[in-house]
Chain A
């Protein structure tokens, strides 16, 4: 098979774009994971007083954080609700 001179450049361009895209999407996953941990911590701290209030509806509040759905194509890995 005859190899054209520009074939390597073409392959490189294609693979380079795909690799970059792959890295960006993976980074988005990490940003999402990080956001979940920070958001959960903030939600937990914000509801400390409520959770310690001796009332049936407030004591031990556990629904202090809702994780956003992962969307690797969105900047930051998630869409704000």
Chain B
């Protein structure tokens, strides 16, 4: 029988070294890979929150909320790359901060005054900003941010609306027989607050003026002797929507302002029945916020329609002409400079409400300090 086991061949030690040495190096590089990635992730998480805090502060107002999503592609040592190329790993984080003393949804007091686009809720997206992607520069996060309109230029800066205002005239809107409202149930058996839906006729809703702030008017439904301020309602134009509402499947809209039939001549704080509603439609912004968060139970379904930053991004690596070595020889020494022309192009995608895709391609070039110079003594 022929012996097939390794005997003391001359190359055995070399073979073992090649096998186990490469394994050890691979494991170490992998650990450094994850160590660096965790560092980048931690840093980005903290920076994103602080930046969102700053944005919310500068917005200054009842709607001073800032939602920020940041993505950075950082170079991390990759043991799987046979050329030792520092592959870029995508690290991302998001933060949402609300800085306000008035946390109700009503922030336009006069219904005759249309809200400005700058009053609309927005989300900020930052993708590889330092490398030429999108995002607000640090010195742009100041007072001027509140005045920035939402236009194509703003999109290039990573500013997107997540809602837009709409106005309906209740009286001249015959297809709106009901409004769905949510009443607080304080008699819940467990002592916790609960809400139950109720479909009411718009004419049964009264408008009251706040004594402290005459400009402020609230839509109130008088039910069982209680005044309940409405901050969100469901618009029910037909029976199908009514059934949906009763099943708890409707999506309420936020009321921004209301107007009664008696106009501004309010008597005993009573301004008549509901005439006009100014509301915020969260599905009418450039990004529909309800698609931003993916719930575990509808992950597969929602991913198809997900808006905002998409999870799948393109990564293209071009080694270029490879490493170039320039040798300079003098009487005293020999100097070699190694340079690489390898580039990596990473394209992140943002899906907007109109189903269009905004691509953010960024090409990363070798860092100038990545040119290595080695000098030998010329003997």
Contact = CB atoms under 8 A, between A and B. Distances in A.
Interface of A: 26, 29-30, 33, 36-37, 40-41, 44, 51-52, 54, 56, 59-62, 64
A36 B43 CA distance: 10
B46 A33 contact: no
Interface in B34-83: 35-36, 38-39, 42-43, 46-47, 50-55, 57
B47 A62 contact: yes
B46 A60 contact: no
* Most A Cβ at <10 Å: residue of B38, B46, B141: B46
B53 A33 contact: no
B51 A30 contact: no
B325 interface: no
A54 B42 contact: no
17 contacts: A29-B35, A30-B32, A30-B35, A33-B32, A33-B38, A33-B39, A37-B38, A37-B39, A37-B42, A40-B43, A41-B42, A51-B50, A59-B57, A60-B50, A60-B53, A60-B141, A61-B50
A7 B256 CA distance: 87
Contacts of B55: 60
Interface in B296-319: none
A40 B36 contact: no
A51 B39 contact: no
B80 to A, nearest CB: 19
Given A33-B35, A33-B39, A44 B46 contact: yes
Interface residues of B, number: 20
Contact of A29 (B32, B51, B52): B32
9 closest A-B pairs by beta carbon, nearest first, are: A60-B54, A33-B35, A60-B53, A60-B50, A59-B57, A62-B50, A44-B46, A36-B39, A59-B54
A41 B38 CA distance: 13
A51 B42 contact: no
Interface of B: 28, 31-32, 35-36, 38-39, 42-43, 46-47, 50-55, 57, 141-142
Interface of B is mostly: helix
A29 B31 CA distance: 10
A11 to B, nearest CB: 9
Contacts of B31: 30
Contacts of A64: 46
A33 B51 CA distance: 24
A81 B344 CA distance: 35
B32 A51 contact: no
Contacts of A51: 50, 53
* Most A Cβ at <10 Å: residue of B42, B50, B53, B54: B50
Contacts of B35: 29-30, 33
B16 to A, nearest CB: 12
Contact of A60 (B38, B42, B57): B57
A39 B117 CA distance: 42
Nearest to B142: A56
B32 A40 contact: no
Given A40-B42, A54-B57, A33 B36 contact: yes
* Most B Cβ at <10 Å: residue of A30, A41, A62: A62
B42 A52 contact: no
A77 B371 CA distance: 24
Contacts of A44: 46
B9 to A, nearest CB: 14
Contacts of A60: 50-55, 57, 141
B51 A62 contact: yes
Contacts of A36: 39
A15 B157 CA distance: 56
A80 to B, nearest CB: 19
Given A33-B32, A51-B50, A60-B141, 11 more contacts: A29-B32, A33-B36, A40-B42, A40-B43, A40-B46, A44-B46, A51-B53, A60-B50, A60-B52, A60-B55, A62-B47
